Amino acid sequence: MKQIVIAVDLGGTNLRAAAVDRSGAVLYRTRCETPRGERAGEIVRTIAESAIECRRNCSDLQIAAISAAVPATVSHERGLIFKAPNLPSLDNFRLASELENELGVKAFIENDANAAAVGEHWLGASKEVENSIMVTLGTGVGGGIIIDGKVLRGRDGTAGEIGHISVEPFGAPCGCGSRGCVEQYASATAIARLANELKSQYPKSKLNQIACPNANDVYQAGTVGDELALEVFRQAGFYLGVALAGLVNVLNPEMIVVGGGASAGWKLFLPELKKTIGERSYKRPARTAQISLAALGDDAGLVGASRIAFDLLT
């Protein structure tokens, strides 16, 4: 019988699940809001319900495992979440064993940006290179690093936390406990916050007509040349560029892949991003590092999570 993996991409805003086969084809998908309660059990139940829906719609296929990509520092081997800044109910939580108990199949977990990096390396923008950096822009900022074709996890499995590189030492407080993390300046949440903070400086901006503009409002305004929106995306590109310039110097990647929901604003922040990397890193690695939009879109994490599970089951 043909095997599939139920892949889950748990975001700070949305939870998506899909049935994925060994070729990376998505056979069925579902989406719902991520529970924001104080108990991890609510998230476990929602993941289980989504997985059951996928299983019900692929009843002629064998479920080999469930594999969840989560916005957190994790122990990939122990199935343990260390810290989830945007979903604090999952801090120090053994998600893999809980999912196994709920669903009766083998369960794996991975950092969401690591999963996206694997997906893009397998079937997406970076499939032709062996050394790449994946940065995901969503509710937060995630990072995944591929070195010689393998995920860089570090000793405890927490490597690649690009979103928590501090780019303003005394800047905005972050859910991780630090201050000035790039997540506070280049995520969808940050884009909305920056727009609200800068409103008074741009009285002619159409965003002043919206009480609390969200990231999509800012993006839509930017596409028609709104000066406030353009400044917000310029700042996002600058701060992301500061973080990535350091990584270009340290890792000398062949490619930087940008994905996640907030990457829709790519054209608005890319010029400042490229400019900052060029000014703040060594010229040769800055020149040779390609900067690419993710090819798999929202499916990168799902596809990557499935690949990780299939590899571990082999």
Calculate mean pLDDT across residues 4-32.
96
Please state the domain extents for the chain. 3-117+298-313, 128-294
Pick the CATH number of 128-294 from 3.30.110.30, 3.40.50.261, 3.90.1570.10, 3.30.420.40: 3.30.420.40
Q: What average pLDDT does the chain have?
A: 96
HEC sequence for 9-69: EECCCEEEEEEEECCCCEEEEEEEECCCCCCHHHHHHHHHHHHHHHHHCCCCCEEEEEEEE
What pLDDT does residue 36 have? 87
Calculate mean pLDDT across residues 24-48.
95
Q: Which tokens is 305 given?
A: 């999570």
Smallest CA-to-CA distance from 298 within 31, 23, 3 is with 31
Q: Can you tell me whether residue 132 is helix, strand or coil?
A: strand
Q: Do 3-117+298-313 and 128-294 fold alike per CATH?
A: yes
Q: Is the pLDDT of residue 1 over 80?
A: no
> CA-CA distance, 20 to 56, in Å (whole number)?
14
Q: Which tokens is 253 given?
A: 């990647």
Strand pairing report for 255-259 and 132-137: parallel
What pLDDT does residue 10 have? 96
Q: Is the pLDDT of residue 38 over 90?
A: no
Q: Which tokens is 269 given?
A: 């922040």
Query: What is each CA distance from 56 to 52, 273, 307, in whole angstroms?
Result: 6, 44, 22
Q: Is the pLDDT of residue 149 over 90?
A: yes
Record: fold of 3-117+298-313: Nucleotidyltransferase; domain 5 (3.30.420)
Give tens-digit pLDDT for 217-253.
999 999 999 999 999 999 999 999 999 999 999 999 9
Q: What is the pTM of this model?
A: 0.92
Query: What is each CA distance from 195 to 156, 172, 207, 212, 249, in whole angstroms?
Result: 37, 14, 8, 9, 31
Give tens-digit pLDDT for 84-119.
988 999 999 999 999 999 999 999 999 999 999 999
How crowded is residue 266: how many other Cβ atoms within 10 Å of its Cβ? 18
Write out the E strands in 71-166: 73-75, 80-83, 106-111, 132-137, 141-147, 150-151
